[in-house]
C-alpha cells in the first residue's frame, strides 16, 4: 500500500478520548458487527450538513468494500452543495425504514427522532457521534467529543478494518473535516486534524477542488438571502443576531440549505463573542443557529431549548412567532455573557 498508512499518527486502535457515554472499546464492537452482518442501514440527521453527507457516503463505501449491502437513507433530499460528492446519488430519500437490517448505523444523531425517519426502533442500533450533547441511545454507542467530525471517526473505522482508504472515501471524509471545522478555523482543530487532512489528501482527496465546491460555488439565492439577513443585523455589545422570514425565502428563491453559514458572518465581527441566526419555518416555528467564539457554551443553551450541538456551534427549533424566539435566545445569551464577564472580572 502507498505511504498513506505509514505516517498515520491518529489514534486508530482505540476511540481516542472516550467519555462515559461510549461503550468500552466501541471500535472493536462496531468492527465485529460490520464483519459478522451482511445488510446495513446508514443514516444521519435531517437537514444534512457536510459531515452528515460525507460520513454517510464514506461509511457506505467502507461497507461495500467489505462485501456488505449498505442502504444509505435520508429523510430529506441532499442539499445541492453536496450532490457532487462521490456516490451522493446513492443516498435514498424515505420517511420510514422497512425490512430488517443486521444493524442501523446512525451518524451524528443524539436520538432516533433526529434522523427524521420512522421505523428505526425495530433495528439493532449503532450510534457514532461527536457532539458534546451526544446520547447513548443505541445498542452500541461510540461518542467521541474530541473528534472534529463524525467523518474523523469513520476514518478510524476504515483504518481499524484494514480496508483500503480509496480516493472517493478520502474526498468524502476530507469534506467532513473541512466543513465541520469551518475551514480549519474552529476551536476543535488540533495538530492531529492536520495529520488527518494530510492522510486524506495523500489518499486522493483534492483539497482545492473540495474547497472550491464548498465555498466558491454558491447559488445566487444564497448570496441574495445573505444580503437580506445582513440588512437586519442587530448588535448589543458582544452579541449579534439576524434572521430571515418565510417571505424572504420566497422572494430570494432560497432553499433552507442557503441559510447555512449566514450566522458565521455575524460572528465574524470584531469584538463579537456570540451570534445567532433565525429562520421562520412554514409551520410557524423558528429554526435557530447559535455560535460563539469560545467563551459561551451554546450547546448548553440549545440543549435547554430542546436542541443540541457543540460548545461553539449548536441549534434548536423554537415556537414562533419570530420576535418571541429572538427574545428567548437573547435572554439566554445575555445571561451566559453576563456569567462570562462576571467570572473574568
Ligand atoms: P446548525 O446551526 O449549523 O444547524 O447546527 C450547528 C450544530 O448543532 C450542528 O453540529 C448540528 O448537528 C447541531 N444541531 C443543530 N440543530 C440541532 C437540533 O435541533 N438538535 C441537536 N441535537 N443538534 C442540533
Ligand atoms: Mn458533525
Whether residue 147 sits in one domain with residue 286: no
Question: Looking at ligand 1, which residue's alpha carbon is closest to its atom 7?
Answer: 314
Per-residue pLDDT of the chain (345 residues; tens, 9 = 90+): 233 232 333 333 333 344 557 889 999 999 999 999 999 999 999 899 999 999 999 999 999 999 999 999 999 999 999 999 999 999 999 999 999 999 999 999 999 999 999 999 999 999 999 999 999 999 999 999 999 999 999 999 999 999 999 999 999 999 999 999 999 999 899 999 999 999 999 999 999 999 999 999 999 999 999 999 999 999 999 999 999 999 999 999 999 999 999 999 999 999 999 999 999 998 899 999 999 999 999 999 999 999 999 999 999 999 999 999 999 999 999 999 998 877 776
- Asked if residue 3 is part of any domain, the answer here is no
State how far the Cα of 324 lies from the Cα of 142, in Å rounded to an integer: 37
Q: Which protein residues are within 6 Å of ligand 1, measured from CB?
A: 45, 108, 110, 114, 131, 133, 289, 307-310, 313-317
Q: Report how far residue 227's alpha carbon sits from residue 83's, in angstroms, rounded to the nearest whole number.
A: 25
Domain boundary among 159, 184, 214: 214
Please give the pLDDT value at position 334.
Answer: 97
Measure 307 CA to ligand 1 centroid, in angstroms.
7
pTM across the whole model:
0.92
260, 300: one domain: yes
The pLDDT score that the predictor gives to residue 10 is 39
Domain identity same for 231 and 145: no
Residue 150, domain extent:
9-214
Residues 112 and 236 both lie in one domain: no
4 occurs within a structural domain: no
Q: Is there a single domain that holds both residue 164 and residue 269?
A: no
Q: What is the CATH number of the domain that holds 113?
A: 3.90.1640.10
Total domain count for the chain? Answer: 2
Q: Give the Å distances, CA to CA, from 180 to 54, 175, 312, 340.
A: 11, 8, 11, 25
**Inside any domain, residue 314:** yes
**Do the Cβ atoms of 93 and 105 come closer than 8 Å?**
no
Which ligand 1 atom is nearest residue 111's CA? 22
Q: Determine the Cα–Cα distance for residues 16 and 39; give it in Å rounded to an integer.
A: 28
Which residues does 213 contact at the CB level (< 8 Å), separation at least 6? 81, 84
- Look at residue 68 and tell me if it is in a domain: yes
Please, what sign has the CA dihedral across residues 291, 293, 295, 299?
Answer: positive
Q: Can you tell me the distance from the alpha carbon of 147 to that of 322, in angstroms, rounded to the nearest whole number?
A: 34
Q: Which residues contact 191 (CB under 8 A, 6 or more apart)?
A: none
Residue 44 lies in a domain: yes
Amino acid at each position: 500500500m502507498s505511504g498513506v498508512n505509514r505516517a498515520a499518527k491518529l489514534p486508530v486502535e482505540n476511540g481516542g478520548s472516550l467519555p462515559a457515554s461510549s461503550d468500552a472499546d466501541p471500535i472493536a464492537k462496531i468492527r465485529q458487527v460490520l464483519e459478522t452482518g451482511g445488510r446495513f442501514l446508514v443514516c444521519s440527521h435531517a437537514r444534512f450538513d457536510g459531515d452528515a453527507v460525507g460520513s454517510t457516503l464514506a461509511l457506505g463505501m467502507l461497507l461495500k468494500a467489505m462485501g456488505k449491502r449498505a442502504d444509505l437513507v435520508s429523510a430529506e433530499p441532499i442539499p445541492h452543495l453536496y450532490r457532487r460528492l462521490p456516490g451522493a446519488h446513492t443516498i435514498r430519500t424515505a420517511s420510514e425504514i422497512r425490512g430488517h437490517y443486521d444493524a442501523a448505523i446512525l451518524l451524528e444523531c443524539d436520538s432516533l427522532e433526529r434522523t427524521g425517519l420512522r421505523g428505526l426502533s425495530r433495528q439493532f442500533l449503532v450510534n457514532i457521534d461527536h457532539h458534546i450533547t451526544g446520547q447513548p441511545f443505541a445498542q452500541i454507542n461510540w461518542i467521541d467529543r474530541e473528534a472534529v467530525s463524525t467523518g474523523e471517526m469513520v476514518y478510524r473505522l476504515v483504518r481499524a478494518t484494514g480496508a483500503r482508504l480509496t480516493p472517493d472515501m478520502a474526498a468524502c471524509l476530507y469534506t467532513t473535516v473541512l466543513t465541520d471545522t469551518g475551514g480549519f478555523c474552529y476551536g476543535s482543530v488540533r495538530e492531529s486534524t492536520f495529520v488527518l487532512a494530510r492522510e486524506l489528501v495523500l489518499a486522493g482527496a483534492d483539497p482545492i477542488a473540495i474547497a472550491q465546491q464548498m465555498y466558491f460555488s454558491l447559488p445566487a439565492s444564497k448570496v441574495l438571502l445573505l444580503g437580506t439577513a445582513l440588512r437586519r443585523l442587530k448588535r448589543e455589545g458582544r452579541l449579534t443576531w439576524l434572521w430571515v422570514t418565510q417571505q424572504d425565502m420566497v422572494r430570494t428563491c432560497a432553499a433552507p440549505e442557503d441559510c447555512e453559514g449566514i450566522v458565521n458572518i455575524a460572528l465574524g465581527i470584531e469584538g463579537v463573542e456570540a451570534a445567532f441566526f433565525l429562520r421562520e419555518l412554514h409551520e410557524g416555528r423558528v429554526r435557530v443557529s447559535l455560535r460563539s467564539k469560545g467563551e459561551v457554551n451554546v450547546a448548553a443553551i440549545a440543549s435547554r431549548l430542546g436542541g443540541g450541538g457543540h460548545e461553539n456551534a449548536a441549534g434548536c427549533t423554537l415556537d414562533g412567532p419570530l420576535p418571541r424566539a429572538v427574545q428567548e435566545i437573547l435572554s439566554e445569551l445575555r445571561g451566559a455573557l453576563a456569567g462570562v464577564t462576571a467570572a473574568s472580572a
